């Protein structure tokens, strides 16, 4: 592809993302905000009594096809997001043909049921449509910046006023294995096209687009007690310090919490990390909680107990930290988990994972009991939530 064709395609793709809602055109209508639909004795009920909130990331196709799923989602959750619906690969599979239908369905459902909505994720190295990485590869810095501006303007602009917190950047730190850069950033097409400032830039653009949304950095692999994980926690804090000093409009830090049942957990070290995040004035969200049970016994009852025990150990530390606001699971029931599809996580005995609050039939499991009990035992977070809502 020639440079000019690349450039044209990139900008055409961006323009076609629908950035320019013509002046005077009506904002999309996602329906009125309904009354909270959750039950008092479920996880969201227990969370709300302590100024916390509970929710899940779910796929919109289940919303459309299962009345039972809709009923359970309304009963269990005060926070909702689509697990893939706002990713670029879903919204812009091809330049020029944006598809907002899946994300719109989530937003409509959440509003109708009085749920608080999260947006996930504006800038990520995965879930990029095939046509984007090669174009970013050839773009000048100005072109790449223009593309990012249009993309963020498009998606965060469409949902402006409906999203409580946005994952602006996702998984920006280098993961397991050798770390090639002194700043510890992951090498991605965004970093290559825009340099390390792409993170600050994304936050500024998102803030211009939706000034009332709480903007989050969402990060993986921060929870377990491995040296390489501790090194990532240190890098995260260092970067946050810089972002605060540069006036970057970040208000939340998302800890994914894809936990692995037999990986070590050090409550003291994790507690310290949460406290340090809190000291930056950030709200903390647990954004993608699930527990890989690969190392636990095949017997479902024994397995569920082991998962619930680990969950309780984790949440007791998490919910003690006043800056924690939300706990969100990655899926709500065992029939909908990415862990069965991933080679690192699939169980060796061929059984399906049981990593979530409800089983494959959407019946409550010990996970859900442990979740409710942890919320009931948590200190009251209402005061911090109120303070952080002011826009700290």
Kindly tell me the burial class for residue 267, based on how many C-beta atoms sit within 10 Å of its own C-beta (0-12, 13-18, 19 or more): middle
Across 3-30, b (16+ Cβ under 10 Å) vs e yields: eeebbebbbebbbbbbbeeeeeeeeeeb
Footprint (CB under 6 A) of ligand 9MR, residues 332-361:
338
Q: How many whole angstroms separate alpha carbon 80 and alpha carbon 280?
A: 26
Q: Which span (80-88, 148-156, 343-351, 384-392) binds ligand 9MR, by CB under 6 A?
A: 80-88
Residues 6+ apart with CB under 8 A from 282: 240, 250, 251, 252, 253, 323, 392
285 scored as a contact of ligand 9MR (CB under 6 A): no
Cα–Cα nearest to 123, from 155, 81, 163: 155
Q: Which span (69-77, 83-91, 106-114, 134-142) binds ligand 9MR, by CB under 6 A?
A: 83-91
Total binding residues for ligand 9MR by CB under 6 A? Answer: 10
49 scored as a contact of ligand 9MR (CB under 6 A): no
Kindly tell me the burial class for residue 271, based on how many C-beta atoms sit within 10 Å of its own C-beta (0-12, 13-18, 19 or more): middle
Question: Using CB under 6 A, which of 37, 44, 84, 326 touches ligand 9MR?
Answer: 84
Beta carbon of residue 330, minimum distance to ligand 9MR (angstroms, whole number):
6
Question: Using CB under 6 A, which of 9, 44, 60, 83 touches ligand 9MR?
Answer: 83
256 scored as a contact of ligand 9MR (CB under 6 A): yes
219 scored as a contact of ligand 9MR (CB under 6 A): no
Q: How many whole angstroms separate alpha carbon 52 and alpha carbon 384?
A: 10
Q: Where are the alpha helices (DSSP H) in the chain?
A: 3-16, 43-48, 60-65, 67-76, 88-91, 101-112, 132-138, 141-158, 189-194, 198-209, 227-245, 267-279, 300-320, 366-377, 382-389
Residues 6+ apart with CB under 8 A from 362: 68, 69, 72, 332, 333, 335
Tell me the angle at which helices 227-245 and 267-279 cross, rounded to the nearest 10 degrees: 10
Cα–Cα nearest to 339, from 325, 351, 321, 327: 351
Residues in contact with ligand 9MR, shown as a per-residue x/- string from 222 to 251 under the rule CB under 6 A? ------------------------------
Residues in contact with ligand 9MR, shown as a per-residue x/- string from 147 to 176 under the rule CB under 6 A? -----------------------x------
Nearer to ligand 9MR, 39 or 61 (CB): 61
Residues in contact with ligand 9MR, shown as a per-residue x/- string from 3 to 32 under the rule CB under 6 A? ------------------------------
Nearer to ligand 9MR, 21 or 125 (CB): 125
**Whether 90 contacts 84, CB under 8 Å:** yes
99 scored as a contact of ligand 9MR (CB under 6 A): no
Nearer to ligand 9MR, 30 or 124 (CB): 124
Residue recorded with tokens 């060796």: 348
241 phi, psi to nearest 5 deg = -60, -45
Nearer to ligand 9MR, 90 or 378 (CB): 90
Q: How many whole angstroms separate alpha carbon 193 and alpha carbon 21?
A: 27
Question: Using CB under 6 A, which of 46, 50, 87, 156 touches ligand 9MR?
Answer: 87
Footprint (CB under 6 A) of ligand 9MR, residues 172-211:
none
Beta carbon of residue 66, minimum distance to ligand 9MR (angstroms, whole number):
17
Kindly tell me the burial class for residue 118, based on how many C-beta atoms sit within 10 Å of its own C-beta (0-12, 13-18, 19 or more): buried
127 scored as a contact of ligand 9MR (CB under 6 A): yes
Beta carbon of residue 109, minimum distance to ligand 9MR (angstroms, whole number):
18
Footprint (CB under 6 A) of ligand 9MR, residues 288-307:
288
Question: Cis omega before residue 295 (within 30°)?
Answer: no
126 scored as a contact of ligand 9MR (CB under 6 A): yes
Beta carbon of residue 125, minimum distance to ligand 9MR (angstroms, whole number):
10
Nearer to ligand 9MR, 210 or 292 (CB): 292
Task: Quote the longest CA-to-CA distance of the chain.
Answer: 62
Nearer to ligand 9MR, 341 or 349 (CB): 341
Residues 6+ apart with CB under 8 A from 245: none
Beta carbon of residue 392, minimum distance to ligand 9MR (angstroms, whole number):
26
Contacts with ligand 9MR, residue ranges (CB under 6 A): 83-84, 87, 126-127, 170, 220, 256, 288, 338
């Amino acid at each position: 592809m020639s440079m000019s064709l690349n450039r044209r395609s990139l900008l055409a793709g961006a323009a076609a993302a629908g950035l320019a809602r013509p002046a005077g055109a009506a904002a999309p209508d996602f329906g009125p905000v309904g009354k909270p639909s959750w039950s008092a004795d479920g996880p969201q009920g227990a969370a709300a009594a302590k100024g916390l909130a509970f929710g899940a990331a779910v796929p919109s196709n289940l919303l459309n096809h299962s009345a039972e799923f809709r009923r359970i989602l309304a009963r269990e959750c005060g926070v909702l997001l689509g697990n893939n619906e706002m990713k670029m690969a879903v919204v812009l599979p091809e330049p020029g043909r944006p598809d907002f239908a899946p994300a719109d369905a989530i937003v409509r459902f959440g509003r109708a049921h009085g749920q608080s909505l999260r947006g996930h994720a504006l800038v990520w190295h995965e879930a990029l449509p095939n046509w984007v990485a090669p174009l970013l590869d050839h773009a000048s810095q100005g072109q790449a910046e223009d593309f990012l501006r249009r993309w963020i303007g498009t998606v965060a602009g469409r949902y402006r006023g409906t999203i409580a917190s946005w994952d602006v950047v996702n998984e920006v730190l280098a993961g397991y294995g050798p770390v090639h850069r002194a700043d510890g950033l992951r090498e991605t097409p965004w970093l290559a096209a825009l340099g390390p400032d792409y993170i600050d830039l994304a936050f500024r653009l998102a803030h211009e687009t939706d000034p009332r949304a709480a903007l989050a950095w969402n990060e993986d692999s921060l929870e377990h007690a491995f040296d390489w994980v501790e090194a990532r926690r240190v890098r995260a804090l260092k970067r946050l310090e810089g972002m605060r000093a540069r006036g970057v409009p970040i208000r939340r830090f998302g800890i994914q919490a894809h936990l692995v049942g037999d990986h070590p957990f050090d409550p003291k070290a994790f507690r310290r990390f949460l406290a340090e995040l809190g000291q930056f004035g950030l709200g903390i969200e647990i954004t993608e909680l699930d527990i890989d049970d690969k190392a636990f016994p095949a017997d479902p009852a024994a397995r569920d107990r082991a998962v619930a025990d680990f969950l309780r150990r984790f949440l007791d530390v998490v919910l003690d930290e006043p800056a924690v606001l939300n706990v969100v699971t990655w899926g709500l029931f065992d029939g909908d988990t990415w862990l069965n599809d991933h080679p690192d996580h699939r169980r060796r005995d061929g059984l399906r994972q049981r990593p979530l609050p409800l089983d494959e039939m959407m019946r409550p499991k010990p996970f859900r009991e442990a979740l409710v009990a942890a919320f009931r035992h948590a200190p009251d977070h209402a005061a911090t939530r109120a303070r952080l809502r002011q826009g700290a």
